[in-house]
């Protein structure tokens, strides 16, 4: 009887403790899951950083274009007439190499499958000039119509750069045959010496906004080629975000007045008047710069 009573009490105590056990086990389970999720989250962030570094280190192509000035590259020069040169503001004749042919040849000589297989709208071409002007276009825009790498002026008897062109244009000048005078969507970089190709998102990761994308695209089109942001972009003009954002020391109305008439502020300013930018577009750029000022700065 004692043994049977003992067994009865033993089982009763176990069953009475089961709810508490289940409660403890449930919280232990939650702790394990939460810990695993936290570790997974940390691992996810680490993987993102590794992926970013991989893009920065591997998915980037550099090309020096000055080899085109030699005679052993095999490209055939063409004589072209530019109906309206956006730099010189008149019709001009050049001897030049077709850009698309040069690009195809360069990409065929290395391990650039990541460029050839990608969406052209997601690949960024940066045209680097000797004076620090770094103009960029997505590959689909760069190949939307034929452009040429001009290396000599055919309006002179010596077939060489003359006048102001002699100091500005060499080694190469990117030109387009037929672009209306009021079309500012294409770039005309002179003193062109190098190309850099990289994924669009990797190139602009640290200055890409979460909200004001329209302002970013306008800044990219009209400003970034001369004015870098966190060391991304051209260096002909001042940096606008590092170490301080331009809006912390310049008033919006003063910036607007300056871009419309730079020499009314600085008599020696090299910046041309940007008279084709609408005030509404400028306001979008300002919104983007304000958002950029609130983002972490990563000038690396």
| pLDDT tops 60 at residue 1 | no
Q: What is the mean pLDDT of residues 139-153?
A: 95
Q: Name the least confident of 32-41, 160-169, 291-300.
A: 32-41
- The whole-number pLDDT of residue 6 equals 34
d(CA 87, CA 189): 9
- The whole-number pLDDT of residue 44 equals 42
Q: What is the mean pLDDT of residues 277-282?
A: 96
pTM of the model: 0.73
Q: Name the least confident of 142-151, 152-161, 254-263.
A: 152-161
Q: 152: number of CA atoms within 13 Å, CB side?
A: 12
Q: What is the mean pLDDT of residues 185-214?
A: 95
- The whole-number pLDDT of residue 163 equals 80
Q: 291: number of CA atoms within 13 Å, CB side?
A: 18
234 close to 134: Cβ distance less than 8 angstroms: yes
Domain ranges across the chain: 61-202, 206-293
Report percent pLDDT > 70 for the chain: 80
- The whole-number pLDDT of residue 26 equals 57
DSSP string, 219-245: HHHHTTTTS-BTTBS--SS--SSSSS-
Q: Which two tokens stand for residue 22?
A: 């289940």
- The whole-number pLDDT of residue 34 equals 55
| pLDDT tops 90 at residue 230 | yes
Q: Is the peptide bond before 71 cis (omega within 30 degrees of 0)?
A: no
| pLDDT tops 60 at residue 126 | yes
| 19: confidence class by pLDDT, cuts 50, 70, 90 | low
Tally the residues of the chain.
300
Range ranked top by mean pLDDT from 11-15, 66-70, 160-164: 66-70
Q: What's the mean pLDDT when you consider all of the chain?
A: 84
| 71: confidence class by pLDDT, cuts 50, 70, 90 | confident
- The whole-number pLDDT of residue 28 equals 54
pLDDT tens digit sequence for 160-175:
787 878 889 999 999 9
CATH of 206-293, one of 2.60.40.420, 3.40.50.300, 1.10.10.410, 2.40.10.120: 2.60.40.420
| pLDDT tops 80 at residue 141 | yes
Question: Between residues 22 and 106, which one has the greater pLDDT?
Answer: 106
- The whole-number pLDDT of residue 268 equals 86
Q: How many CB atoms lie within 10 A of CB 198?
A: 21
| pLDDT tops 70 at residue 12 | no
Question: Between residues 242 and 56, which one has the greater pLDDT?
Answer: 242
Report percent pLDDT > 90 for the chain: 68
- The whole-number pLDDT of residue 220 equals 94
pLDDT tens digit sequence for 81-92:
999 999 999 999
d(CA 196, CA 184): 22
- The whole-number pLDDT of residue 252 equals 96
């Amino acid at each position: 009887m004692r043994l049977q009573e003992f067994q009865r009490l033993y089982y009763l105590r176990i069953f009475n403790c089961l709810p508490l056990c289940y409660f403890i086990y449930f919280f232990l389970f939650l702790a394990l899951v939460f810990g695993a999720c936290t570790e997974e989250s940390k691992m996810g962030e680490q993987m993102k950083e590794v992926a970013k570094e991989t893009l920065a280190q591997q998915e980037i192509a550099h090309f020096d274009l000055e080899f085109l000035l030699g005679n052993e590259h095999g490209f055939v020069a063409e004589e072209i007439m530019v109906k309206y040169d956006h730099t010189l503001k008149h019709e001009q004749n050049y001897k030049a190499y077709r850009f698309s042919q040069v690009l195809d040849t360069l990409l065929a000589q290395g391990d650039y499958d990541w460029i050839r297989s990608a969406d052209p709208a997601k690949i960024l071409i940066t045209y680097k000039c000797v004076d620090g002007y770094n103009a960029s276009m997505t590959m689909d825009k760069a190949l939307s119509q034929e452009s040429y790498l001009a290396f000599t002026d055919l309006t002179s008897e010596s077939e060489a750069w003359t006048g102001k062109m002699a100091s500005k244009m060499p080694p190469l000048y990117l030109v387009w045959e037929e672009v209306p005078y009021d079309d500012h969507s294409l770039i005309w970089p002179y003193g062109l010496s190098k190309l850099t190709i990289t994924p669009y998102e990797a190139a602009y990761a640290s200055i890409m906004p979460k909200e004001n994308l329209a302002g970013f695209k306008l800044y990219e089109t009209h400003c970034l080629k001369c004015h870098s942001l966190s060391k991304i972009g051209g260096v002909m003009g001042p940096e606008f975000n590092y170490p301080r954002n331009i809006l912390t020391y310049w008033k919006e109305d003063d910036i607007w007045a300056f871009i419309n008439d730079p020499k009314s502020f600085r008599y020696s300013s090299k910046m041309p008047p940007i008279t084709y930018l609408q005030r509404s577009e400028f306001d979008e750029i300002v919104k983007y710069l304000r958002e950029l000022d609130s983002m972490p700065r990563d000038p690396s």
